[in-house]
Structure 1
Amino acid sequence: MQAQYPFNVRVYGLLINEQQELLISDEQEYGIRFSKFPGGGLEYGEGLRDALKREYLEECMVEVEVLEHIYTTDFYEHSYFNDSQIISIYYSVINKTPFNILFRQLAFDFGTQVGEVLQSFRWVKLTDIKPEDLTFKTDRIALQELLNQQRGCAL
C-alpha cells in the first residue's frame, strides 16, 4: 500500500491600496504569532479564485477581484501547524467594496480581542516593506516577486 501524504493548499491575495501600501494580516493562534498576507486554505470543491474571494470576505469583510498570478510554491514547505506539505498560491487582488474594518498601525495590535485566535490588519508602504516583515518563507518570496513586478523587473 502506498503511503498518503497530506497536502494543504493555501491561497493568498496581495492587495495594494491607492497610497501604495500593502495589506498585512497579523495573527496569533494558540500562542504562535505570525505576519502574512490575507488568505487561507482551499476547501474541498472550491477553485483557487473562489477560495481567495471567500477568505477576503471572511477575514476582511470586503469583496475582492482576483487579478493576476504572482507566485506558487516551488519547493517543499512543511506546515508550521500540522503534519502537511504546504502549497501556496499568490494573486494580486483589488477591493471591489470599501473596507469596513479597523486598521492598526503596529504589528500584533489586537486591541481588545481575546481568545486563542486573534487577527489584525495594517498597511505597510511598498517602499518600506522588507521580506523579514513576514513570517513565512513563501510569503517572503511572493513579496519579492510582487516587488519585482512593480519595478518591471524580469526574473
Structure 2
Amino acid sequence: MAQFIIRVYGLVINDKKEILLSDEFVLNTRMTKFPGGGLEFGEGLIDGLKREFEEECNGQQIENVRHFYTTDFYQKALFYENAQLLSIYYLADLKQPLKFKISEKAFDFKIDAGETQSFRWEKIKDLKADDITFPIDKFVLQKLKATFNE
C-alpha cells in the first residue's frame, strides 16, 4: 500500500547569514541535512519540529517558528518502499542558552564511540547543492539563497 512520509525541518540562520547544518551517520550513510526529522502520528507540525530539536540537540528549544516551504513536487521517499515524501521547512531561532555543541568541521563525531551526529554553521552563500544530501534540501537551499540575497 502506498503511503506518505512527513518530515519537518528547522532552518536556523544566525546574524552572519550562516545556516545550521546537521551531519549524520544513519543507515550506514553519511548525510548532511537541515535539523529535523519524521513527524510522529498524532503530532502537529510545529510540535514535531520542537520535539526533533529537543531530541537531536540535547534538549534545545526553538522559538519564533515560521513557515518557509512545503514540498510542492513529487519526491519518492528514499528509505521506504512505495512511499511519497512530504517535507515542511520552518525558519526558527534557537532559544538561548545553547544546549548543544556546534562543531567547526563536518562529521565531527566518532562512529566507533557510538556518536552519529554533529552540527555546524555554514555561510548560505558558500553552500552548494552538492554539499547537501537530499533532493528537497537541495531545492530549499536555492530558495534560501534567493530569499537571503546570497
What is the TM-score when the length of structure 2 is the normalising length? 0.89
What is residue 101 of structure 1 aligned with on the other side? 100
1:41-80 matched pairs, under 5 angstroms: 41-60=38-57, 61-80=59-78
Segment drifting more, 82-91 vs 62-71: 62-71
Letter of the structure 2 residue corresponding to residue 97 of structure 1: Q
Which SS does the other structure have where 2:69 is aligned?
strand
What is residue 145 of structure 1 aligned with on the other side? 143
Segment drifting more, 29-38 vs 75-84: 75-84
CA distance in 1 between partners of 2:66 and 2:144 (Å): 11
CA distance in 2 between partners of 1:106 and 1:34 (Å): 14
CA distance in 2 between partners of 1:112 and 1:137 (Å): 25
C-alpha offsets along residues 45-93 of structure 1, whole Å, 9 cap, x if unaligned?
1111111111111111311024322211122212222222110010100
Letter of the structure 2 residue corresponding to residue 74 of structure 1: D
**Cα drift, residue 113 of structure 1:** 5.8
Q: Select which of 107, 118, 121 maps to 1:120.
A: 118
C-alpha offsets along residues 108-153 of structure 1, whole Å, 9 cap, x if unaligned?
22146634x711111101221122210011001111112222129x
**Cα drift, residue 12 of structure 1:** 0.2
Which SS does the other structure have where 1:90 is aligned?
strand
Structure 1 segments of 4+ aligned residues over 6 angstroms from their partners: none
What is residue 90 of structure 2 aligned with on the other side? 91
- Return 5+ residue gaps in structure 1 as ranges: none
Letter of the structure 2 residue corresponding to residue 13 of structure 1: G
Which SS does the other structure have where 1:127 is aligned?
helix
Letter of the structure 2 residue corresponding to residue 30 of structure 1: L
**Cα drift, residue 94 of structure 1:** 0.4
Letter of the structure 1 residue corresponding to residue 62 of structure 2: V
CA RMSD of aligned residues (A): 1.9
What is residue 34 of structure 1 aligned with on the other side? 31
Q: Select which of 7, 15, 18 maps to 1:21.
A: 18
Letter of the structure 1 residue corresponding to residue 89 of structure 2: Y
What is residue 131 of structure 2 aligned with on the other side? 133
Letter of the structure 2 residue corresponding to residue 127 of structure 1: K
What is the TM-score when the length of structure 1 is the normalising length? 0.86
CA distance in 2 between partners of 1:108 and 1:96 (Å): 24
Which SS does the other structure have where 2:137 is aligned?
helix
